[in-house]
Chains A and B, each alone.
Chain A
Amino acid sequence: MAEVAREKKLPVDDKIHTWPHLVRMEFLVTLFVLVALTLWALTVDAPLEEPANPTRTPNPSKAPWYFLGLQEMLVYFDPWHAGVVLPSLIIVGLMVIPYIDINSRGNGYYCFKDRKWEILTFFLGFHILWITMIMIGTFFRGPGWNLFWPWQKWDPHKVVALTNVDLPYLVGFRDYWWSAAFSLVMIGIYFIATIALFYFFVLKVKGKAFLERWGLVRFSITAVLISLMLALPAKMALRLLFNVKYILVTPWINV
């Protein structure tokens, strides 16, 4: 009986004509947005400052707002990492989403229950990390890239004590080789721990059958991307709580 009722509820063909239904909607939305954009353009002028002068660097020099998340990451990582490696990883990480997400639920409709962890991961990456970093870079950074409240006057002579030290130094290592060895061990432990935690987490919330279906390649890619993504808040925490500058210092790269 229930089967029959369900069949009745879902029509075989639920299609409607594009003209007029979709075209009318697009036309009205287009009209509305164009009017809004025109009004906005009439009331707010695009900025134009004084002519370009390569000899006068403004303080602070800010990238366009959509890149301020990357500029903000420069506080915590060196440029090769924050400016090149992490953005590339963000792009690659976004691209592989359809290939590592094999959950067949929620294809083409809104649902939170069946895709809780996927959506929360996206939320962490996009809203918490990306958007928050842009907000901080846009509204809370002043001269010298120091932190200011939006209502606070920008003081170009604000004195901020540079008390950051490298992690091996903080723990007590003074010798270069011992420091480097300690750093590499710590980085190794970080990755092994996050990947292991991720493994057991997936095992717990998704089950063994899912892991087998997921396969080693998909699991590895996801695990590495997740631990790299979590490295940002981890480094931020180390910096903000313990004034750690670098975790690993070598003549070539610092992390």
Chain B
Amino acid sequence: MAFLDQIKKDIVESHVWKSIFRHGYDDTPRNRVMMVTSNVFLHLHPAKVRRHAVRMRFTWCMGGLTFLMFLVTVVTGIYLMFYYRPVAEYAYADMKYLDNDMPFGMLMRNMHRWAAHAMIVFVWLHMFRVFLTGSYKPPREFNWVVGVLLLVLTLLLSFTGYLLPWDQLAIWAVTVGSNMARATPLLGYEGPFADFVGANPIYDARAFLFGGGEIGPHTLLRFYILHCIFIPFVASVLMAVHFWRIRRDGFSGPSL
């Protein structure tokens, strides 16, 4: 055993090891703070939090779980992107291939879809909890506004992903969901006052969304880029703002 201890000591005190891990797991107050402040991921947290804010019955864990669901969809989504082509001729065949022939393809797709649905439920519950605890009250008013934007982006993320399987469920759900756009006042060709602007079926709000007058291959590519690049990018920026502001203002709680 002395031999093993010596090896462990050699490794832990080596130049390389010390350059990576700056401190051990000693349970000292200083080390507990270091654990958080010297770790880029845990650094999302303050080093110390108020006692009540840790309790599950206060937060319901919903904000964190929404973020977790986002991470799950990112990881599984990247896996799906390796096998999926956003081209009308191939998209559906790629889904079949994913489901039946890819190792863990079906599991990844299931997890991606259910995590996306769970994310919507969690974000609604998070909003409900934040309302109940009045956590949008000063000084956190603006963070609630950022949260509402994130709520909208969550719905749009899910909605743009809905089209990608390119099956009957996908195109018709997206058709119904997007038909509203053609009724936009002034900007949609079926909307009020469209004549004043000159909106027509191939030149209006819905055509801008679809990349054409009807749902088609162009829409598939457009929604793919919105789903995989554009909205996640914007959402990530807003998430950074959202988390950073919580970090600055601290968890809400009754004043001492």
Contacts and interface: CB of A to CB of B under 8 A. Distances in A.
B236 interface: no
A22 to B, nearest CB: 5
Contacts of B141: 98-99
Interface residues on chain A, size class? 35 or more
Interface stretch (B103-111, B223-231, B238-246): B103-111
Contacts of B169: 47-49
Contact of A61 (B47, B117, B176): B176
Contacts of B33: 17, 19
Given A64-B173, A66-B158, A107-B138, A18 B36 contact: yes
B31 to A, nearest CB: 8
Given A80-B192, A83-B183, A29 B113 contact: no
A97 B134 CA distance: 10
Contact of A18 (B46, B88, B128): B46
A109 B114 contact: no
Interface string B57-90: 0100100110010001000000000000000100
A54 interface: yes
A172 B226 CA distance: 51
B176 A79 contact: no
Interface stretch (A33-41, A153-161, A230-238): A33-41
Interface string A93-121: 01101110100111111110001000100
Interface in B198-252: 214-216, 251-252
A44 interface: yes
Contact of B155 (A10, A48, A67): A67
A46 interface: yes
B48 A17 contact: yes
Interface residues on chain B, size class? 35 or more
A19 B35 contact: yes
A16 B137 contact: no
A63 B173 contact: yes
A33 B65 contact: yes
Query: Taking chain B's interface residues, is the majority helix, strand, or loop, or is none over half, making it mixed?
Result: helix
B128 A49 contact: no
Contact of B133 (A50, A78, A87, A106): A106
B152 interface: yes
Contact of A85 (B53, B133, B185): B185
B133 A63 contact: no
B256 A10 contact: yes
Interface string A1-31: 0000000001110111111111101100110
Contacts of B185: 80, 84-85, 253
A247 B209 CA distance: 31
Contacts of B179: 79, 83
A41 B107 contact: yes
Contact of A42 (B32, B110, B145): B110
B167 A48 contact: yes
Nearest to A83: B180
Interface of A: 10-12, 14-23, 25-26, 29-30, 33-34, 37-38, 40-42, 44-54, 56-58, 61-67, 70-71, 78-80, 82-85, 87, 91, 94-95, 97-99, 101, 104-111, 115, 119, 122, 126, 252-253
